[in-house]
Structures are given as structure tokens and as C-alpha cells.
Amino acid sequence: MPTTYTDLLADVKKTTKEVSLDELKKRLEAGEKITLLDVREKEEHRAGYIPGAISIPRGFLEMQVESKLPDKGAKIVAYCAGGTRSALAAATLQQLGYTNVETAMPGFVRWKDVGYPVETPPQLTDAQRDRYSRHILLPEVGEVGQARLLKSKVLLLGAGGLGSPAALYLAAAGVGTLGIVDADTVDASNLQRQILHSTSRVGVPKVESAAKAISEINPDVKVVGHQERLTSENVERLFADYELVVDGTDNFPTRYLVNDASVWMGKPIVHGSIFRFDGQATTFLPPKAAEKFGRQAGPCYRCLYPEPPPPHLAPSCQEAGVLGILCGIVGTLQATEAIKLLLGKGDLLAGRLITYDSLKMQFRELKLRKDPNCPVCGPNPTIKEYIDYEGFCAIGV
């Protein structure tokens, strides 16, 4: 049994496998699948790290490693500044059941001194690290992902029932720029479901009311208000500066306009709709957008519905009613899809439709297939310019 720290370290080094920095670099360049584990303190990690490394400070290793590194058979190379903490970490991992662990010697200081690749994480402020701390703890987000969200630009179509929860959660998540398109003013009848607004702001333009609510939630977020109705004349101008679009509209003419612009401009559309007690959500990811985001393309809205239905078969929520809380569920699903797209994580709803029946408290998933004869996204499109469909109401949710 070791009696001193020196004895302990000597015993640890006998039971852990070391890899030289030169060998580690060669293996990484050869494309070997290795999980790099940085066990230095957060402040050290922020000063620079080996590209792709996962940060778990030595003091939190036992508590966090199984959630961040669930595969106990994966190849893991731990490193620290000089090689001591990583050797102790490797021994701990072996005790926890990890079977393929090595420690890099002599460590990051030498790695950096010899000029090997180093990345520096985004420099979030202390206030931002505090605000987004629960995001940063997630390995799928971290400081890099949070910085990505802060640089992102999302356009919300409508500051109504669906746009309200989507805007609030996207703002709270730290999406840096939120554009909001809405030509209406706040009405008392909106307040049953449009939680962006309040009684004190009845009569105020919705884009102004939304900006006020968002500023009180997160001052990091820039709100760009577009107090205008979406038309074929302004759709490309409005879409141009944003990475993706969250569609909270409630009329068919706008949905077809949004779809066609999405396909032609390569913009993902996170779609949601509600009616009475039912809601649904999906993501439309046309080929140009799929390429930009490194995803698999899916069908577009016209693959499902090539033409709008007759007006008498498309009643609005004003005519048929809607359960207010339903907006929160579907709008939150839309915000979740948007965050996943921006972070490049998870499986999207592209090619899938989630439906929700609030009376039965039941979700269902339907497969959506691309129409090879789609008039817009098919190989031989017949629609090549915007169509202004008439005879439908244009009332927001």
C-alpha cells in the first residue's frame, strides 16, 4: 500500500498506459476515433485546449464522467497540464469500469509549446457563464454551443400563439438575434394564448410588445421588429439575413409563400399549427438548407399539400376556437427544433410530423415522404415564381 503521494503516483503510473504527445498527434491525424478528456480546471481549459477535447475538471470527474462519457469501452486519452492529474484521472476511470484509457505525457503545456493544434473557446462573459450555466453543463452545448446560439439569427413569423412561447424560449436560450414579423396590434382576445403580451400593452404593435417582453427576459438578445405582413414582394428581403425561420402563421396563402421561399432560398422552416384541441409540428429542410446544416433533406410543404384547400374547408382559429395552452406545447416544440438545428444536435423532424391531441393527451408520429412530382422541390418543378393565393383569411393564431 502506498504511504505517500509519491508512492501513490508511482503505483498509478504502473497501472496506467501512457501515450507520447507525438504518438497522440499522429493517431489523431490518422483519423483514429479517440475521446480526448481534459481534466484541467475550467480556467485552464478556457486558455486553450486540444481540438475536440471534452472538459471535466479532475475534481468533478467521478460525478460527471458517466453522463458525459457513457461508453466505457471507448478509447479515452486523458490529459492535464503536465501529466500528473491525468494519470490519477486515468486510474479513477479504470476503477469506474472504463477499459481503454490512456494518459498523455507530458501534457498540454508541452503540446502547446511544440506548436501542435490548439483551440481557444469562445470568451463568454462571467455574467453569460452564470446565465447559461445549465446549458454549458451539457456536453452537447458547452461554451462553444452557447457562443453559437449567441451568434445565431432566427426569424419568427408571427408574435401570436405559436410565436409567443417560441420567442420566449429562444430568447431565454440566448439566440442572439430574433427577427419578428407581425403587422398586428395586441388585442384583448389575444391574451388567452399569446403570452408575449400583457393587458398593459393592448393596442400596442405586437412587434413592440414582443421586444419589450424579450428585453426583460434576456438583454443579450437583439430583437428586430418587422411590422409588416409577409408578401411575395418582401419575403426574400425578410428571409435573407436569418439562418432559419419559425413559422407560426395561421393561413394557407402565407404557408405556401413561406414554403416556396424556403426551397428557393435554402432556409429551414420549423412549422407548427394548431386547431381547436389539436396541434402538429414538423421541420421542412429543403436540399440547399440540408447542405448548409449538414443534414438529410426532407419533403417540403407542397409535397404534402400541392395546392391550398377550398376556403370553406379551412376555418381559422377565430372561427373554430383554440385551447390556449395548446400554443405553448406546439410553440415549445418549434423552439426545441430550432435550437437543435442551430447546435447541430439530435434528430430533426424533417420527414416526420408530430401530432398532439390534447383531449386524449396523446402524441403520434407520422412519416412524411418527398413527392417526386412536387411542383416546387421536385426534379421538374412547375412552380417557379411566387403565387399570391386569394380567398383566405390572414388572421394570426
Neighbours of 355 (CB within 10 A): 15
Are 5-121 and 152-367 equal in CATH topology?
no
Residue numbers in the chain where pLDDT is lower than 70:
1-2, 310-320, 390-397
What's the rounded Cα separation, in Å, for the pair 143 and 145? 6
One-letter amino acid for residue 349 of the chain? L
> CATH for 152-367?
3.40.50.720
Neighbours of 321 (CB within 10 A): 12
Residue 359: burial class (beta carbons within 10 Å; 0-12, 13-18, 19+)? exposed
In the numeric block, the cell 497522440 is attached to 24
- What's the confidence (pLDDT) of residue 243? 97
In the numeric block, the cell 463568454 is attached to 124
What are the distances in angstroms from CA 123 to CA 53, 116, 144, 178, 271?
17, 21, 9, 22, 33
Spell out the domain ranges in the chain.
5-121, 152-367
One-letter amino acid for residue 14 of the chain? K
Topology given in CATH for the domain delimited by 5-121: Oxidized Rhodanese; domain 1 (3.40.250)
51: cell is 481540438
Question: Per the omega criterion (within 30 degrees of 0), is the bond before 309 cis?
Answer: no
